Amino acid sequence: MKPREIKPGIFSVGAVDWDRRLFDELIPLPDGTSYNSYLIAGGDKTALIDSVDPPLCHMLEENLKAAGKPGIDYVVCLHAEQDHSGSIPRVLELHPGAKVVTNPKCKGMLIDHLQIPEERFIEVGDRETLSLGGRTLEFIYTPWVHWPETMTAYLREDKLLFSCDFFGSHLATSDAFVTDEATVYEAAKRYYAEIMMPFRKFIRKHLEVLAELGINFIAPSHGPAYDNPAFIIDAYRDWASDSVANEVVLPYTSMHGSTKEMVEYFTRALMARGVTVKRFDLARTDLGKLAMALVDTATIVLGAPTVLGGPHPLVVQTAYLAGALKPKARFASVIGSYGWGGRTVETLASFISGLNVEVLEPVMVRGFPRESDFADLDKLADKIAEKHRSL
Ligand code: FEO
């Protein structure tokens, strides 16, 4: 079957990974993913943008054959992570005259990770161009979306941006383009939360640079392409902005019901004060849903029982994740119970010390909560509602 032609002479030759359910042995993929690769036929030269994850290399090979363009002159590598670069060595084997076009940092990574020989590379600088004959690729460095070497490629005449991970979504679909914006929004937000959120400040700068290009089409390397780029650019602007929602994200676990009782009471207390609560039972939750909730929330409250003198490991994992993903939340606190003592609050605080949050007075109780403990939860809910009103 001939691969899809997303624009005249531009073929989508990558692979849809319908059944994959985990990325990096960590990130849930409820809707699978895709590794998009694009073949561009210019008047003189043919370029391939990115490749696919090695287990699906055979699909790339089949699609390249079916595209009917016998020779590849350039393999453009926008990002060295193996889900996009891992099949490049096979492409180079099949096309001995092809050169890998990338930036010096990415070149170094490809040599380290894939052992591609030095002589197979052409280095390009930021805003440098490469002519394919009637079609011009302009390379724009966009570090940290998602690694430090990442760049994008803008096909000037078509006003088409190849963005690799940037604007991507983990979504296996038969659609080449976005057809159902609600579904793609959810998948793209999940992707942003898990992959892009730590790099919010870089993203804001990149969006400014890209705004000057007049892009009318975005082809990412995961998920469907955007023929209405404003849809995803506006979403990224919102997610990467400093504005937060009147929400509390409340991840918790409970062993014998004391912390759960506090979480139940606290949820109702926040609701009564007009604050939206997004609650996650950590023993059962999808980490991606939790990450998505962290994108916009003003406040994070961890519900943590004490185990062996410290926080329950599921809450430790969440605090570590929140510290690593760096959401834009402004406030944080801890509620929970203990049997005889422990350093639950101090330990959790150390994991989120990199966040720019004001820590609100935690509520830790010995055993099952009493009336005075519920009063303290009311006080914490009052404080959160007041802080949110002041934003
Ligand atoms: Fe899709 Fe950072 O690789």
Position 118 pLDDT exceeds 90: yes
Model confidence at 208: pLDDT above 80: yes
Q: Which residues lie across from 218 on neighbouring strands?
A: 161, 226
Q: Which ligand 1 atom is nearest residue 146's CA?
A: 2
pTM: 0.96
Cβ of 186 closer than 6 Å to ligand 1, yes or no, is no
Indicate if the pLDDT at residue 193 is higher than 80: yes
Q: What is the mean pLDDT of residues 138-151?
A: 97
Average pLDDT, the chain: 96
Query: What are the pLDDT digits (tens) for 37-82?
Result: 999 999 999 999 999 999 999 999 999 999 987 799 999 999 999 9
Distance CA 41, CA 129 (A): 16
84 CA from centroid of ligand 1 (Å): 7
How confident is the model at residue 283, as a pLDDT? 95
Average pLDDT score over residue span 133-154: 97
| pLDDT value at residue 96 | 96
> Per-residue DSSP letters for 87-111?
THHHHHHH-TT-EEEE-HHHHHHHH
pLDDT tens sequence across 337-372? 999 989 999 999 999 998 999 999 999 999 999 999
Which residue in this structure is represented by tokens 């705004």?
211
CB atoms near residue 266 (< 10 Å):
28
pLDDT at residue number 27: 87
If you take atom 1 of ligand 1, which residue's CA is the nearest one?
A: 165
Cα→Cα distances 163→12, 16, 27, 118, 152, Å: 14, 17, 21, 25, 5
Q: What pLDDT score does 69 carry?
A: 76
**Residues 217-226: what's their mean pLDDT?**
98
Residue 2 reports pLDDT greater than 90: no
Q: At 231, is the pLDDT very low, low, confident or very high (cuts 50, 70, 90)? A: very high
Our answer on whether the CB atom of 158 is closer than 6 Å to any ligand 1 atom is no
Q: Which helix (H) or strand (E) holds 387?
A: helix 371-389
Summarize the confidence of residues 106-131 as an average pLDDT: 98
The larger pLDDT score, comparing residue 31 to residue 26, is at: 31
pLDDT bin (cut points 50, 70, 90) of residue 25 is: confident
Tens-place pLDDT, residues 120-138: 999 999 999 999 999 999 9
- So what's the pLDDT on residue 70? 74
- At residue 1, the pLDDT reads 82
Give Cα separations from 55 to 3, 63, 89, 112, 327 (angstroms). Answer: 19, 15, 13, 20, 33
Q: What percent of the chain has pLDDT over 90?
A: 96
Ligand 1 center–CA 172 separation, angstroms = 15
Residue bearing tokens 């590794």: 35
Q: Are 388 and 299 in contact (CB under 8 A)?
A: yes
Indicate which atom in ligand 1 lies nearest the CA of residue 165. 1
CA nearest ligand 1 atom 3, residue? 81
pLDDT band of residue 257 (cuts 50, 70, 90) is: very high
> Which domains can be identified in the chain, with CATH numbers?
4-240 (3.60.15.10), 249-383 (3.40.50.360)
Q: Does the CB atom of residue 170 touch ligand 1 within 6 A?
A: no
What is the distance in A from the centroid of ligand 1 to the CA of 187? 15
Cβ 252 vs Cβ 259: under 8 Å: yes
